[in-house]
Amino acid sequence: MIALRDVTKTFGARVAVDHVSLALEPGTTRILLGSSGSGKSTILRLVLGLLAPDTGEVLVDDVVVSRGTRRDALRRMGYVVQEGALYPHMTAAENATLAARAEGWARARMAARLAGLAELVGLERSLLDHYPAELSGGQRQRTGLIRALMLDPPVLLLDEPLGALDPISRAELQTELLRVFHELRKSVLLVTHDVREAFVFGTTITLLNEGRVVQEGTFADLARRPADPYVAQFLRAQAPPAAMTAAL
């Protein structure tokens, strides 16, 4: 589905992505886990063709992503980012249907699709006429998700989709995202720094540090057989204190 082959990307003297190879199989979810600056967001931008790799190649459905193929590759992917990146001058509905408008969809088709997706992600229909500034963080994120799903791409790329939410909306949306991924059988590449989130979403986790893949595997693999002292250190840093787990 999506593959990186020995990709390196530098910004000036800083190596953001350092000889990374990874693959995303159809219908699976892969988590890119790491602290800020580990290169995980850059990997998403490379996959989207927003950045070009210095060396190595990015493939979408076995086609190398380049200037010429980027447009086709993009049609196969939906992109959700922290805080939604919604356009402030457009209503939620206008934001969500933008890609469909660019494709020249008929009004009725867009309306029907929008209604179905709003139901799917749990966004009240009346909120679709609101501007982003009038929505809560969770509502904005749901709008962003509708927008990513509008053209029904097989792949979803999510960059810290829950990062800016309060704990309760976060837990709610987390559940809904899992349901959506499962129901729609999407291939998902999700970026997070949160170990708990990685545990909840991911079958396969890729732990990154300073642009390099440190370890790849299930949560159990990482926890029981850390490939590097960094792995244990990273997981332990976010583990809840034993007394707290016991008290809950």
Q: Which residues bind another protein (CB under 8 A)?
A: 45, 48, 50, 71, 74-75, 77, 79, 81, 83, 85, 87-90, 98-99, 101-103, 131-133, 147
Number of residues assigned to the chain:
248
Q: Given the complex with another protein, which of 48 and 120 has the nearer CB atom?
A: 48
Q: Give the shortest CB-1-to-another protein separation in angstroms.
A: 17
Instruction: Tell the smallest beta-carbon distance from residue 92 to another protein (Å).
Output: 12
Residue 242 CB, nearest distance to another protein (Å)?
Answer: 40
**Count of C-beta atoms within a 10 Å radius of residue 112:** 11
φ, ψ dihedrals at 15, nearest 5°: -90, 110
* CA 80 from centroid of its chain's CA atoms: 6
Report H helices in 59-156. 70-75, 92-96, 98-103, 107-121, 137-149
Q: Least distance from C-beta 129 to another protein, angstroms? A: 12
* Least gap, CB of 97 to another protein (angstroms): 10
Q: 16: which DSSP letter?
A: E
Residue found by looking up tokens 């204190």 in the block: 241
Please identify, using beta-carbon distances, which residue of 53 and 132 lies nearer to another protein.
Answer: 132
- What are φ and ψ of residue 140, in 5° steps? -65, -40
Instruction: Report the residue number, 72 or 228, with the smaller CB distance to another protein.
Output: 72
Alpha-carbon span 9 to 56, nearest angstrom: 9
Contact 39, 16 (CB under 8 A): yes
- Which CB, 110 or 200, lies closer to another protein? 110
Cβ distance to another protein smaller for residue 6 or 152: 152
